[in-house]
Amino acid sequence: MYKRGDSWATDFWCDGERYQKSWGPISKTVAKEKEEKFKTEVREGKHQQKTKRLKFETLAEKYLVYARTNKKPSSARRNEVSVNMLMPYFKSKLLSSINSFMLEQYKKARRDQGEKGRAPATINGDIDCIKNMMKKAVECGYLNRNPLEGVKHLKEDNEKMWVLTPEEEDRLLDECQKRAQRKNKKYLKDLVKVALNTGMRQDEIFKLTKSDVKLKLRYIEVTDTKTEDRKVPINDTAYGILKNRLNKVDSDYLFPNTKGGKLTVLTNAFWTAVKEAGLIRFEIKKSGKKPVEEKIRFRFHDLRHTFGSRLGMAGTDLKTIMEIMGHKTTKVAMRYQHPAPEHKLNAVKTLDQIPSKVPTGEIIPLISKVKSA
């Protein structure tokens, strides 16, 4: 405590945060009493300093500038999508008024939009975005603490992973061979085979340029991706496809659109091939009291799941799968350690080769000892 002019003032730090307060022209004894009470409130968490009156949309604008400067383009674009979704719920609200209950309401509202309800993974992306925004607000001094820090993700149990059997793969490739991804661009089969043999994401393949393919070194350099940059090894099947396209494609992109630029969407040719190959199934899903029949269609992303599952069933270790596929955590990669039913059946069949009878010569001496006792 110190005196400034005619007034006594307090200036101290607690848990890395500075607290200052002026007590006015009062006696030192009274000022001391007020200071002790003030320090007690701070230590017990009963005091909250005044925050800057900043609204959500102002923070969103500042955060997106930060994201475009410091994050990968794909991550910055994902933040923009989340901000657009969050805006109708949090616009005009002061940062100091936003709390965890509001975010819980947002989660529920996004899930309960009928047929337009979003998947848990999509909503979790929005949750991460606003939590990071509030974290930045704390770092910049707009807030004293992050009120959304304890909000948890929704359980991501919505994904139906489809791993192709060899027979299903043959049917799909036959149908892809009949169709063009784009007008006069009949490479849909090559596109699918590259996905099956590299495990690359759809967007990663669309961005694939000739300079990314290091054919002699047998790897593909994957950059501007969802996670960290990585090198994807090229097996013999992918080698043949890539070599052919490097020589024949008149574009910087290996799978270009009609104008030679980057492909942006998967056309109906793929979905028609999926339908004609019979890669649609129906499952009974519990919804309230009545079970509902759910239609599940094979997706392009399931080619990546097939790749990962085949590596897992071949005995590839988890770390190698993570590095090839670009997974940040073992939790995601662990899904590929659960083999297909037929693989499990073959595993237990190995027990048929183990003798079920123990040689009697090892048992008789034991029986004899028991009888003699």
Mean pLDDT of the chain: 85
Q: Are residues 343 and 202 in the same domain?
A: yes
Of the candidates 104, 139, 174, which is a domain's last residue? 139
CB 74 within 8 A of CB 225: yes
Looking at residue 322, its pLDDT comes to 93
Confidence at residue 367, expressed as pLDDT on a 0 to 100 scale? 43
Residues 32 and 111 in one domain: no
What's the alpha-carbon Rg for the chain, to the nearest Å? 31
pLDDT category of residue 275 using cuts at 50, 70 and 90: very high
Examine residue 48 and state whether it is found in any structural domain, yes or no: no
125 and 265 together in one domain: no
3-state secondary structure the chain: CEEECCEEEEEEEECCEEEEEEEECCCHHHHHHHHHHHHHHHHCCCCCCCCCCCEHHHHHHHHHHHHHHHCCHHHHHHHHHHHHHHHHHHCCCEHHHCCHHHHHHHHHHHHCCHHHCCCHHHHHHHHHHHHHHHHHHHHCCCCCCCCCCCCCCCCCCCCCCCCCCHHHHHHHHHHHHCCCCECCECCHHHHHHHHHHHCCCHHHHHCCEHHHEECCCCEEEECCCCCCCEEEECCHHHHHHHHHHHHHCCCCECCECCCCCECCCCCHHHHHHHHHCCCEEEEEEEECCEEEEEEEECCCHHHHHHHHHHHHHCCCCHHHHHHHHCCCCHHHHHHHHCCCHHHHHHHHHHHHHCCCCCCHHHCHHHHHHHHHC
d(CA 3, CA 208): 68
Give percent above pLDDT 70 in the chain: 85
Structure tokens, 89: 């719920």
What CATH number does the domain containing 125 carry? 1.10.150.130
**pLDDT band (50, 70, 90) for residue 49:** low
Identity of the residue numbered 183: K
For residue 345, being part of any structural domain is answered with yes
The owner of tokens 């070599």 is: 243
Written as six digits, the tokens of 319 are 């770390």
Least confident segment among 91-95, 265-269, 300-304: 265-269
pLDDT (0 to 100) of residue 226:
76
Task: Say if residues 130 and 143 touch (Cβ distance below 8 Å).
Answer: no
Does residue 237 sit in the same domain as residue 328? yes
Strand partners, 295: 282
**Which CATH number belongs to the domain containing residue 179 in this structure?**
1.10.443.10
Number of domains making up the chain: 3
Domain span at residue 254 reads: 159-367
Where b means 16+ CB within 10 Å and e means fewer, 296-313 reads: eebbbebbbbbbbbbbbb
pLDDT digits over 151-194, tens only? 998 887 555 789 999 999 999 999 999 988 776 678 999 999 99
Specify the pLDDT at position 148.
Answer: 94
Domain match, 79 and 24 both: no
Cα distances (Å, whole numbers) of residue 105 to 95, 108, 127, 150, 317: 16, 5, 12, 15, 41
Q: On the CB side of 70, how many CA atoms lie within 13 Å of its CA?
A: 8
Answer whether residue 286 shows pLDDT above 60. yes
Give 306's pLDDT tier (boundaries 50, 70, 90).
very high
Q: Does 302 share its domain with 346? A: yes
> Is the residue at 144 inside a domain?
no
Considering the domain boundaries, does residue 50 fall inside one? no
Within-domain flag for 359: yes
Sign of the dihedral defined by the CA atoms of residues 59, 65, 69, 74, in that order: positive
Pairing of strands 290-297, 2-4: unpaired
Q: Are residues 35 and 174 in the same domain?
A: no
Q: Whole-structure pTM over 0.75, yes or no? A: no
Q: Judge whether 198 lies within some domain.
A: yes
184-224: per-residue pLDDT in tens? 678 999 999 999 999 999 999 999 999 999 999 999 999 87
Same structural domain for residues 192 and 248? Answer: yes
Q: At which of 105, 139, 173 does a domain end?
A: 139
Predicted pLDDT at 7: 87
In a domain, 150, yes or no: no
For 94, list phi and psi in degrees, rounded to 5. -70, 145
User: Is residue 152 one of the residues assigned to a domain?
Assistant: no
CA separation, residue 298 to residues 161, 162, 278, 282 (Å): 9, 7, 9, 11
Confidence of residue 364 (pLDDT cuts 50, 70, 90): very low
Q: What is the pLDDT of residue 51?
A: 55
- pLDDT of 371 reads 43
232 and 359 part of one domain: yes
Looking at the structure, tell me whether residues 133 and 164 fall in a common domain.
no
For residues 123 and 250, state if they share a domain. Answer: no
The pLDDT confidence band at residue 363, using thresholds 50, 70 and 90, is very low
Residue 209: strand pairing partners: 253
Q: Are residue 26 and residue 64 in the same domain, yes or no? A: no
Q: Is the pLDDT of residue 357 over 60?
A: no
